[in-house]
Structure 1
Amino acid sequence: MIFIDLKFQEWQWQYQISTTFFVFVILPTLLWIYAKYITSSPNKYNKLEEPIKLVVPIPDEAKPHWKGKRLYPPNLTIRVPNEPNKIQSYCPATGQYLGTFSATSKEEMNQQIINAKKAQNSWKNSNFSLRRQVLKTLSRYILDNQQDIARIACRDSGKTKLDASMGEIMVTLEKLNWIIAHGERILRPSQRPGPSNLLIGMMKNGEVRYEPLGVVAALVSWNYPFHNLMGPIIAALFTGNAIIIKCSEQVIWSSKWFIDLVRVVLRSLKIDEDLVQLCCCYPEDADYFSSHPGLSHITFIGSKPVAHKVVESAAKELTPCVVELGGKDSLIVLDDIKDIKALSSVIMRGTFQSAGQNCIGIERVICLPKSYEKLVEIFSERVNQLRLGSDIDQLDEIDMGAMISDNRFKQLEALVEDAVSKGARLIHGGKPYQHPNYPQGHYFEPTLLVDVDSSMRIFQEEVFGPVLTMIKATDVDDAINLANGTEYGLGNSIFGSSFKQVNDIVNRLDSGNVAINDFATFYVAQLPFGGVKKSGYGKFGGEEGLLGLCVAKSVVMDKPLMRWFGVATSIPPPIDYPIKDDKKAWGFVSSLNTAGYDSRVWEVVKAFKKLAKGGA
């Protein structure tokens, strides 16, 4: 017993020494290695990649306590009477005038593409160190100026600062830093196995090299004016492309500032700022842009009706497109969910963020019976408490901002009325809201609609507004059928305690993206993003998003050992033109196939023997 105690004490003493050594020697060493080598990619360029400090003044309209003139109907519109080439900007939350801008003409589009191509001819040869420095400089500026960027996005879109921080700034920083860390590895030449033919495979190597496409375009929607614009720019620049962003007419005021920010970054690093251009026009001139022969690729983010026109125009020049359209995303709630209150918070955020104007927002909450009534009770209390307004102008606490315009209010009301007429219960909302301070602002009441079923239009049609729709499923199979029961297939979420059951459901859902026990984190995780069915095709984001902006150039070459010995491909005499002996030529080629692909050893031996005789 004494011996055991002594050994135990000795072991304890040794353990204490080891812990001290770990805390004061090993751990600091590991942290130093992580900081020096792992977080810098690659380390040899680290000093050259230091971000440049920028000073970019923000517009007066985004500063606190700004007092701008208000517009009232019929002047509360982006169209300027008798001036078809002018675009008027105003704040959708307050109706304040932001400025009038000239639409991009066809001649200007031509010149933008010429300038972009000229800049790209040099940029395509830039090294990854410089490309990372561009991204790091942009990332540092965003981190240091989050409040200003959020206020600019809010002023032009009507959303709250919190929604701008989460939906605009955080996801942009994630994309920047993910590409900084992993982009070069993804774009390195990809080594391939080469031919499976035994003879040819001994001689040849294969690889794929990823080269920039040239001048690419992104036609982006207004709901995330900062992130939707920045995301394509970040990917395009890192892959060595130039890019022209066609922004929505609804957010030209903020888009111009965001583009100017990127161009300041480029100028500060002595890079041609024509790499990044902004185009903004009305639909009547958009076809000219999307059918332009100078574009090598188009990313479109928007609605299905507009996508038809974009794809049709792009087809004239066979320009490849990635098309991300709307969704009718469902969130499935199983009966074994443990924390129903925490889940209700996720659903509230996923439904009402940016006033529901979110392509991967929660459009349908599909619940099994046990969870259904509990959630209805919670939402009946919580939705009624949401406060509307403009938090960059008000001192009050604000939960939800304005919608971009009021042009869909009648459609939203009609969807709610149709559902109620077919048996749904309207618990709260369902109509426009006249704000006491901003009566001209585009507000729609947070809406709770329960007992919805597949016979109602709101089950099938994208809402893109602040409507929480509750649907009761009889069992798991019914929930899956309901989730798959629309023409859309962008994203889904599933909440349940059994991972096996949840994982089985994932495999049965018709959608491009699924989050397990979470909402929309597939987008933040830099996975390839895109939908199926009428939600579009192609992917942006992640590895696939970067590679999609490149020409995949296939290269085959002699293996190093073959080059070292001076062995090169030659045409064997039996099959050299003109063919001298057809029978021998056939025997040679058929033996070559047998030797290269047959798995039977004796057949391979016989084939080699025949090859040695020249096919005879």
Structure 2
Amino acid sequence: MHILAYHLQLIPLKVLRYILDHQDDIIQAACLDSGKTRVDAVLGEIFVTVEKLKWTINHGEKALRPESRPTNFLMFYKKNEVRWEPLGVVAACVSWKYASPSLPIVAPTDVSPSYPFHNLLGPVISALFTGNAIIVKNSEQTAWSSAFYTSIARGALTACGYSPDLVHSLTCWPQTADHLTSHPRISHITFIGSKPVAHLVAASAAKALTPVCVELGGKDAAVVLDAPDGRETSQGEMNRVVSIIMRGVFQSAGQNCIGIERVVAMPRAYTRIVEMLTPRIKALRVGSALAEDNIDVGAMISDASFSKLESLVADAVKQGATLVCGGSRYQHPKYPQGHYFQPTLLTEVTKEMQIAQEELFAPVCIVLRAESVNDAIAIANSTIYGLGSNVFGPTSSAAAMANLYRVTNEMKAGMVAVNDFAVTYATQLPFGGVKGSGYGRFAGEEGLRGLCNTKAVCVDRWPGWISTSIPGGLDYPMKKGAAEIGKGVVEVGYGESIGRRIGGVRKMIGV
């Protein structure tokens, strides 16, 4: 292993060991600052962060290794490669809720800081491994835990003999943050937040022509297909699907950009899913994971979206949806200061309803009926978002598999999980979306390379023996007929036949 690669791997290894040794401290801080349950902290904070670290340790150096590229006939004596080099100082604005004094809150579409540990450490891991320094603008709502989490990375740098000042986190108000996002010494910005705030960040970064990777909200669908031959899916398989849907909807109280926001089910699956979801959602226990062990859904980071959520539910019911349970804020008798929203199930929702179009970012499960595979695809693609998506269906026949792959191919999204939920992120595939969900990718090879200057290098294959020489007729000052010689060069290099290439040679020598 190259000595530089060894040092690059040493830092994430130190962080990995610290996290594994101090899981309880990290979980406690996440629960205190965001209200989530301990299980949500384990899965949404610890698990995905150590996966990113382990992937970076095992595969990061290969992703950044110079890559050989092909040459062509005319340039046979050249050797080409692409290199990925550090940009310098990069920035990350993670889970940014507030936009500006004139745009204080755009709820509920603004992304709350529901993953204070992972969303902060993720950009730090990638920045350090690519040789950059990083400034993280964390959410004002998780300033306390962000300071603790930043100290983990700074401690690893110190332990490895590097300056801890390669990593800084800051908490500030929006009017101050513009100084960061428009600063000419910032070489790249990763933004995780809402669409309205993304416009402001992108406009600010444009002052210095700073590239921005934008990860915005989602309205992810879980499409559940019927078997094309009319067979019923087994009870065991339906239980598995419903369990995954429950985790996808209610993890972190629904505050998950790739959480399941819509369940789109074909007729036979629809009836069974509603029957199975109803008792499970009604049985969910809401409360503080710091005070009780048997809690399923924790508090939300803020109650700013509650009035809008209640309005969306009421409007959907007015248009024909059925409110099975929940639908409003919950005043917890033990924790009256907590921001709790009732776990909610809304059925008979249609894609025209506002609740099926806006990101809810809440513990709300909405179920839509699809009459066919075509209809399911149309519903899944009917929003402005295109972040993640999920499709469930039988695999027992060629026709069933064809339906699964067709939905996978035709859903307009940056990520698709087949018969699963969000596993693309758990395997460090590139993360990002299309349409109103943003642009650019982080995680995986694309994420590391996005934080680098992609440099193309072309050198002589046999230096000192063969190198570029300008043909006499094309040398300055050029002679009469130089254009014909140039055409000959083109035909020699790119002629589609031997005859064309011979004709090119004749033009080059003036025959």
User: Which of the numbers 458, 467, 474 marks the counterpart of 1:568?
Assistant: 467
User: Which of the numbers 546, 549, 554 marks the counterpart of 2:451?
Assistant: 549
- The whole-number CA distance in structure 1 between the counterparts of 2:348 and 2:500 is 70
1:207 matched to 2:46? The reply is no
Letter in 1 for 2:472: P
Closer/same/farther in 2, CA of residues 570 and 475 from structure 1, 3 Å limit: same
User: Which has the bigger relative contact order, CA under 8 A and spacing at least 6?
Assistant: 2
Hey, what does 2:378 align to over in structure 1? 481
1:530 matched to 2:432? The reply is yes
Letter in 2 for 1:253: W
- The whole-number CA distance in structure 2 between the counterparts of 1:366 and 1:552 is 41
Deviation, structure 1 residue 609: 4.5
Deviation, structure 1 residue 207: 0.9
- The whole-number CA distance in structure 1 between the counterparts of 2:501 and 2:244 is 63
Hey, what does 1:147 align to over in structure 2? 24
- The whole-number CA distance in structure 2 between the counterparts of 1:462 and 1:391 is 26
Deviation, structure 1 residue 235: 0.5
1:343 matched to 2:241? The reply is yes
Deviation, structure 1 residue 600: 1.6
The answer to whether the 8 Å contact 2:223/2:392 transfers is yes
Hey, what does 2:286 align to over in structure 1? 388
1:471 matched to 2:363? The reply is no
Hey, what does 2:309 align to over in structure 1? 412
Hey, what does 1:188 align to over in structure 2? 65
- The whole-number CA distance in structure 1 between the counterparts of 2:493 and 2:120 is 51
**What pairs with 1:378-527 in structure 2 (closer than 5 Å)?**
378-394=276-292, 396-497=293-394, 498-527=400-429
1:137 matched to 2:14? The reply is yes
- The whole-number CA distance in structure 2 between the counterparts of 1:491 and 1:607 is 52
- The whole-number CA distance in structure 1 between the counterparts of 2:270 and 2:487 is 68
Letter in 2 for 1:312: A
1:174 matched to 2:51? The reply is yes
Deviation, structure 1 residue 392: 2.0
Secondary structure of 1:491 counterpart: coil
Secondary structure of 1:223 counterpart: coil
Closer/same/farther in 2, CA of residues 209 and 431 from structure 1, 3 Å limit: same
Deviation, structure 1 residue 588: 2.3
Deviation, structure 1 residue 592: 1.2
User: Which of the numbers 128, 132, 146 marks the counterpart of 1:237?
Assistant: 128
- The whole-number CA distance in structure 2 between the counterparts of 1:265 and 1:257 is 13
Deviation, structure 1 residue 586: 2.8
Secondary structure of 1:507 counterpart: helix
1:577 matched to 2:491? The reply is no
User: Which of the numbers 17, 39, 43 marks the counterpart of 1:162?
Assistant: 39
Secondary structure of 2:453 counterpart: strand
Deviation, structure 1 residue 499: 2.2
Deviation, structure 1 residue 269: 1.3
- The whole-number CA distance in structure 2 between the counterparts of 1:607 and 1:327 is 56
Deviation, structure 1 residue 573: 2.0
- The whole-number CA distance in structure 2 between the counterparts of 1:534 and 1:457 is 16
Deviation, structure 1 residue 610: 4.7
Deviation, structure 1 residue 438: 0.9
1:217 matched to 2:91? The reply is yes
1:587 matched to 2:484? The reply is yes
The answer to whether the 8 Å contact 2:487/2:507 transfers is no
Q: Sequence identity, in percent?
A: 52
The answer to whether the 8 Å contact 2:373/2:403 transfers is no
Deviation, structure 1 residue 607: 2.9
Deviation track 1:200-248 (CA, whole Å, cap 9, x = no partner) reads 3221111111101111101001110000001101111111111100000
- The whole-number CA distance in structure 1 between the counterparts of 2:363 and 2:164 is 39
Letter in 2 for 1:214: G
Structure number with larger C-alpha Rg: 1
Structure 1 residues without counterparts, runs of 5 or longer:
1-41, 46-126
Hey, what does 1:299 align to over in structure 2? 190
Deviation, structure 1 residue 457: 1.0
- The whole-number CA distance in structure 2 between the counterparts of 1:517 and 1:459 is 22
Deviation, structure 1 residue 128: 1.4
Secondary structure of 2:85 counterpart: strand
Hey, what does 1:68 align to over in structure 2? none
Deviation track 1:457-484 (CA, whole Å, cap 9, x = no partner) reads 1011110000010111111111111110
- The whole-number CA distance in structure 2 between the counterparts of 1:151 and 1:473 is 42
Letter in 2 for 1:335: D
- The whole-number CA distance in structure 1 between the counterparts of 2:444 and 2:27 is 25
Hey, what does 2:141 align to over in structure 1? 250
Deviation, structure 1 residue 441: 0.6
Secondary structure of 2:368 counterpart: strand
* CA RMSD, Structure 1 to Structure 2 (Å): 1.3
- The whole-number CA distance in structure 2 between the counterparts of 1:437 and 1:386 is 17
Deviation, structure 1 residue 143: 1.1
Deviation, structure 1 residue 296: 0.5
- The whole-number CA distance in structure 2 between the counterparts of 1:610 and 1:383 is 79
Letter in 1 for 2:217: G
- The whole-number CA distance in structure 1 between the counterparts of 2:421 and 2:467 is 56
Hey, what does 1:82 align to over in structure 2? none
- The whole-number CA distance in structure 2 between the counterparts of 1:192 and 1:271 is 34
- The whole-number CA distance in structure 2 between the counterparts of 1:377 and 1:567 is 75
Hey, what does 2:250 align to over in structure 1? 352
User: Which of the numbers 260, 281, 284 marks the counterpart of 1:362?
Assistant: 260
**What pairs with 1:24-63 in structure 2 (closer than 5 Å)?**
42=1
Larger mean Cα displacement after TM superposition, 570-579 or 450-459: 570-579
Deviation track 1:312-352 (CA, whole Å, cap 9, x = no partner) reads 11111111011000001110111234321121111111000
